[in-house]
Amino acid sequence: MNNIKRFVSYYKPFKGLIIADLICAFIASLVALAYPLIIRKITTEVIYLPRQEGIRHLGIIILVFLGLILAEFLSNYFINYFGHVTGAKIEYNMREELFGHLQEQSFSFFDNQRVGQLMSRISNDLNEITELSHHGPEDVIISLVRIIGSFFILIFISPVLTLMLFASVPVILIIAYFSNIRMSKAYKKNREAVGDINSQLEDSLSGIRVVKSFANEAIEMEKFNKGNAAFVQCKKNAYRVMSDFSGQMGILLSLVNLIVAAGGGYLIINGNIEIADLLTFIIYINLLIAPVQQLIRFTEQYQYGMAGFKRFTEIMDTAPQIVDKEGAIALGGIRGRIELKDVSFSYSEESKEVFKNINLVAEEGDYIAIVGPSGVGKTTLCCLIPRFYDVTDGQVLIDGIDIRDVTQESLRQNIGIVQQDVYLFAGTVIENIGYGKPGASREEIIEAAKNAGAHEFITGLPEGYDTYIGQRGIKLSGGQKQRLSIARVFLKNPPILIFDEATSSLDNESEVIVQESFERLAKNRTTLVIAHRLSTIKNARRIIVLTEDGISEDGTHEELIRMNGVYARLYDLQFRE
pLDDT at 307 over 70: yes
pLDDT at 301 over 90: no
Q: For residues 89 and 513, which has the higher predicted lDDT (pLDDT)? A: 89
Q: For residues 213 and 249, which has the higher predicted lDDT (pLDDT)? A: 249
> Taking Cα atoms as reference points, which of 292, 287, 5, 288 lies closest to residue 175?
292
Distance from C-alpha of 61 to C-alpha of 494, rounded to nearest angstrom: 80
312-340 pLDDT tens trace: 888 888 888 888 888 889 988 888 899 99
pLDDT at 50 over 90: no
Distance from C-alpha of 232 to C-alpha of 251, rounded to nearest angstrom: 28
* CB-based contact 541:366 (threshold 8 Å): yes
126-166 pLDDT tens trace: 777 877 887 778 888 888 888 888 888 888 888 887 887 77
* CB-based contact 565:553 (threshold 8 Å): yes
At 398, is the pLDDT very low, low, confident or very high (cuts 50, 70, 90)?
A: very high
At 205, is the pLDDT very low, low, confident or very high (cuts 50, 70, 90)?
A: low
At 123, is the pLDDT very low, low, confident or very high (cuts 50, 70, 90)?
A: confident
Distance, C-alpha 36 to centroid of its chain: 47
Distance from C-alpha of 152 to C-alpha of 170, rounded to nearest angstrom: 18
* CB-based contact 484:476 (threshold 8 Å): yes
At 397, is the pLDDT very low, low, confident or very high (cuts 50, 70, 90)?
A: very high
What integer best gives the mean pLDDT of the chain? 82
Q: For residues 387 and 473, which has the higher predicted lDDT (pLDDT)? A: 387
Q: What residues contact 286, with CB distance under 8 A and at least 6 apart?
A: none
* CB-based contact 79:135 (threshold 8 Å): no
Q: What are phi and psi of 329, to 5 degrees?
A: -95, 160
Amino acid identity for residue 153 in this structure: I
Q: Considering only 431-440, 478-487, 509-518, which range has the smallest mean pLDDT? A: 509-518
Q: Considering only 354-363, 403-412, 452-461, 469-478, which range has the smallest mean pLDDT? A: 469-478
Secondary structure (3-state) at 394 = strand
Report the chain's terminal Cα–Cα distance, integer Å.
Answer: 72
Q: What is the mean pLDDT of residues 193-211?
A: 67
Q: What is the mean pLDDT of residues 95-120?
A: 80
- Walk me through the domains of the chain, giving residue ranges and CATH numbers: 2-316 (1.20.1560.10), 335-414+497-577 (3.40.50.300), 424-493 (3.40.50.300)
* CB-based contact 544:371 (threshold 8 Å): yes
Angle between helices 275-316 and 169-206 (to 10 degrees): 40
Distance from C-alpha of 75 to C-alpha of 82, rounded to nearest angstrom: 10
pLDDT at 341 over 90: yes
Angle between helices 217-269 and 275-316 (to 10 degrees): 150
pLDDT at 503 over 70: no
Q: What is the mean pLDDT of residues 547-568?
A: 88
* CB-based contact 469:424 (threshold 8 Å): yes
The reported pLDDT for the residue numbered 338 is 92
Q: How many other C-beta atoms lie within 10 A of the C-beta of residue 449?
A: 26
Taking the CA atoms of 270, 276, 282 and 284 in sequence, report the sign of the dihedral they define: negative
At 395, is the pLDDT very low, low, confident or very high (cuts 50, 70, 90)?
A: very high
Q: How many other C-beta atoms lie within 10 A of the C-beta of residue 137?
A: 20
136-145 pLDDT tens trace: 788 888 888 8
The reported pLDDT for the residue numbered 376 is 84
Q: What is the mean pLDDT of residues 64-87?
A: 89
Distance from C-alpha of 226 to C-alpha of 340, rounded to nearest angstrom: 48
Q: For residues 429 and 113, which has the higher predicted lDDT (pLDDT)? A: 429
Q: Considering only 26-40, 252-266, 386-400, which range has the smallest mean pLDDT? A: 252-266
The reported pLDDT for the residue numbered 259 is 77
Q: For residues 382 and 228, which has the higher predicted lDDT (pLDDT)? A: 382
